[in-house]
Amino acid sequence: MTEFAAIAAPAAPRSAELIDGKAMAATIRGELRETVAKLAANGTHPGLAVALVGEDPASAVYVGGKIRACKEIGIRSIEARLPADTTTAQLLELIDQWNADDNVDGILVQLPLPRGLDTQAVVERILPSKDVDGFGADNLGRLAQGRPRLVACTPWGVMEMLKRWGQPSGWTPAGKRAVVIGRSITVGRPMALLLLSADATVTICHSRTPDLASAVRQAEIVVAAAGQRHLVQGDWIAKGAVVIDVGIHRGEDGKLTGDVDFATASQRARAITPVPGGVGPMTIAMLMANTVSACRQRRGQGV
C-alpha cells in the first residue's frame, strides 16, 4: 500500500436533517380531529369565520387551504368573499356580526387587504377572544407579558416544530443564541417573544442591521422571516445551527424557495426546514389549533 493510498478520501459534506413541517402538521391535524370529535360529542362545535377581500390569487389559495383544513378536522367554517371595492366600514360591519355570533369562535381576515382599507382598524375590531391570527394588540400584549392566549400562527408553528423535532434528543431552545431576521408583528416580533419565553437569548435583525452576516454566524437558532429570497447565505450559518426558513418566493422557473439559500445552508446546519413543506403547513395547523383553543376558552373549558 502506498503512502497516498493510506490517506482516506475526504468525507462528503453532510446534509442537515430536514424538519418536516408537512408531516408534523398532519400529526397535529390528527390530534385536533380527535379533540374536535370529543367536543362535538358534548355538543360543542368550534367555528371559524374567514373573510377574503379582493381577488389576490395567493390569498385565495391560502384561504382555500384553511377551509379544507377546517373540513378535515371537523371545524365549522364560514367563508365571506368580498369584492375589492369593499369599504373599511363594510368590512367592520361584517366583523361586528361575527363578533356577536356565538357560533363563531375564531375570526380571520386574510391579509394583505386591498389598498385603501384600514388594516389596523380591521385587526383591532376583532374580539381578542376570537383573534385566532393573534395580531391584535391585546393578544400581542399578553404574549409580551408572558401570558399568551391566542398566538400568531406562524411563530407558534415554528415553536411547535422546534419542540417536536427536539424531543427525541432532548434538544430545546433554552440557553441557545437565537437570531430572528424580521420584525413584523405577524412573525418577527412574536417569534422573538416566544423564543425569549423558551429561555433563548434572542437578537432581532432587520433591514437596518449592520453586518447581518456576523450576527447570523453567532446564532445556534436562525429564524429567517425577512421576505427576501436567499438573503441568508450558507456560509453565514454556524456549524450545527438549527435553521427555520419562514420565507416563500416563487422563482422565474416556478419553483418555490425561501429566505435561506437552502443548498449551501443545509451543508452546515444541524437541521433545516425545507421550502415548501416546512413552516407553511404548520401555520395552517396552528390556526386550527387556535380556533379549537378559542372555542374551549370561550366556553370555560381551558385550552
Q: Which residues are catalytic?
A: 66, 110, 133
Angle of CA points 138, 144, 150, to nearest 5°: 50
Angle of CA points 209, 213, 215, to nearest 5°: 65
Decide if 241 contacts 261 (C-beta within 8 A). no
What's the gap between Cα 283 and its chain centre? Answer: 4
Residue among 290, 288, 281 at smallest CA distance from 24: 281
- Region of 126 on the Ramachandran plot (φ > 0 left; ψ -120 to 50 alpha; else beta): beta
Strand order in the sheet with 271-272: 17-18, 271-272, 242-245, 221-224, 177-181, 201-205
For residues 194 and 155, what is the distance between their CA atoms, to the nearest angstrom?
Answer: 8
Angle of CA points 271, 263, 179, to nearest 5°: 50
What's the gap between Cα 142 and its chain centre? Answer: 18
User: DSSP code of 222?
Assistant: E
Angle of CA points 249, 18, 290, to nearest 5°: 70
Which helix (H) or strand (E) segment holds residue 69: the answer is helix 57-73
